[in-house]
């Protein structure tokens, strides 16, 4: 089971590293900039989670995470140099996949430490969102988490699916699968149809 968690974590790191490299390409950064954005996107959320939970930061003693970031970045660079561009939807898909993987890993880690369900959902949301938020701030773009389309809400939804599936007797594997599908499905719907949770009513002049 630990091996499965580790591989899911590595896949999530690689996918988020790709999204960071894509943003670096859009901003015309150099090689160092690519690695920085790929790294903060891939491990920023998990690092924040571990610091809050007061546990060893997950990547410090396991170099496979950094290796995963490096290879994902290099592969993305090679691909972009051949394609000379990419559609915006590719960045959004990579980001959505990263969310789906990282939410369940954040929830799982919090639950394994004996945290209550609500705390676990919050930790899953932080794991999924904070890396991308740091990436966008460094790239001087509005963070996806602050835009109108559902983003953090999808993490909360996936985390609730995970925790409640466990409470209803589902196996950990099934709960993880449901959490990932729920997060990814809701985020994909938000991207395609512009789903949001508006709270303010604006006059046309205010938009």
Task: Encode pLDDT of 16-31 as tens digits.
Answer: 999 999 999 999 999 9
Helix (H) / strand (E) containing 95: helix 88-112
Range among 3-17, 76-90, 160-174 with highest mean pLDDT value? 160-174
Residue 206: its pLDDT value, please? 53
* 107 within 8 A of 179, measured Cβ to Cβ: yes
Kindly state the average pLDDT of the residues 164-169.
Answer: 96
| Proportion of the chain above pLDDT 70, given as a percent | 97
SS3 85: coil
The four Cα atoms 1, 123, 198, 133 give a dihedral, to 10 degrees, of -100
pTM, entire model: 0.90
Residue 148: its pLDDT value, please? 63
* 174 within 8 A of 162, measured Cβ to Cβ: no
Distances (CA, A) of 174 to 20, 38, 165, 166: 29, 30, 8, 9
* 8 within 8 A of 104, measured Cβ to Cβ: yes
Give the long-range contacts of residues 137-143, CB within 8 A, separation 24 or more: 138/36, 138/37, 138/40, 139/23, 139/24, 139/26, 139/27, 139/37, 140/27, 141/23
The whole-angstrom separation of Cα 10 and Cα 71 is: 12
* 148 within 8 A of 200, measured Cβ to Cβ: no
Structure tokens at 39: 């790294």
């Amino acid at each position: 089971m630990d091996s499965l968690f580790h591989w899911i974590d590595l896949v999530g790191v690689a996918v988020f590293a790709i999204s960071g490299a894509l943003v670096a390409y859009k901003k015309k950064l150099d090689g160092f900039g690519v690695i920085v954005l790929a790294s903060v996107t891939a491990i920023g959320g998990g690092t924040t989670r571990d610091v809050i939970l007061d546990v060893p930061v997950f990547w410090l003693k396991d170099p496979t995470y950094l290796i995963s970031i490096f290879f994902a970045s290099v592969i993305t660079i090679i691909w972009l140099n051949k394609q000379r561009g990419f559609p915006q939807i590719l960045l959004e898909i990579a980001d959505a996949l990263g969310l789906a993987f990282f939410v369940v890993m954040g929830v799982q880690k919090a639950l394994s430490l004996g945290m209550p369900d609500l705390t676990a959902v919050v930790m899953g949301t932080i794991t999924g969102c904070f890396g991308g938020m740091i990436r966008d701030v460094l790239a001087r773009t509005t963070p996806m988490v602050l835009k109108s389309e559902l983003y953090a809400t999808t993490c909360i939804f996936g985390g609730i699916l995970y925790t409640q599936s466990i409470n209803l007797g589902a196996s950990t594997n099934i709960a993880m699968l449901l959490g990932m599908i729920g997060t990814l499905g809701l985020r994909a719907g938000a991207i395609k149809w512009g789903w949001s949770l508006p709270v303010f009513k604006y006059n046309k002049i205010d938009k």
